[in-house]
Structure 1
């Protein structure tokens, strides 16, 4: 399982039932923050990428609700690509991590539980600015 000081996979509760499984997420219990916003990506065209930014304060849990996709993570020191394809795993991403989502399968749905409401000023949308904010030289 993926582990870093800035991101990690989280096992979510899975209640198995012949009628269909159930998974739930509780803020402050399964994620170390209160959930302030939920959003989801769907109908992502083949070959498209999402993300391409970092957050100053926002933390999030990324879940593949259907299908699969990859999350490329970069904290300025370490880079890792995580494949998400199960709805009972979440990828917990801390602040100051550049993330890009790609390799979406047909019919995939990416749900994100966020620690704050949308605030444009919380984003680094330029990689060079992000690296500069970390105080590290860019590649």
Structure 2
């Protein structure tokens, strides 16, 4: 399951006037986009608290600056550094994630597969681990 978290390179259109990258639902990422949010003005070196989701899938892009994303499937962890706006990290459901080590001025954009639902969140790591230890259809 940890290997399901993967970097996806986005199409790049280079131009002397400025570059352009595109993200299309179901084409570049494996879900339909229902919500977009972004983190900004995070103090350099800071972290955002970890959490998991029951159903939500995410695609995370460093629009500016850099940060690290730690993904955890309840059995193992890995750290992925994001620092290019033409790469994004796909995170499937039932994955714990933390975002840390923000550079000054970093902007973290998240494309989400569902609308906001507070019942979809795991805020307690032990509850998350218990859930992923159960068999899933």
TMscore range, shorter length: over 0.9
Alignment map for 1:41-120 (pairs within 5 Å): 41-120=39-118
Instruction: Name the Cα RMSD after superposition.
Output: 1.4
Number of residue pairs aligned between Structure 1 and Structure 2 = 134
What is the distance in 1 between the residues matched to 2:104 and 2:74?
31
* 1:119, distance to aligned residue in structure 2 (A): 0.2
Structure 1: gaps of 5 or more residues? none
What is the distance in 2 between the residues matched to 1:64 and 1:130?
26
Q: Of the candidates 126, 129, 138, which is equivalent to residue 124 of structure 2?
A: 126
State the 4+ residue runs in structure 1 displaced beyond 4 angstroms: none
TM-score, length basis structure 2: 0.94
TM-score, length basis structure 1: 0.92
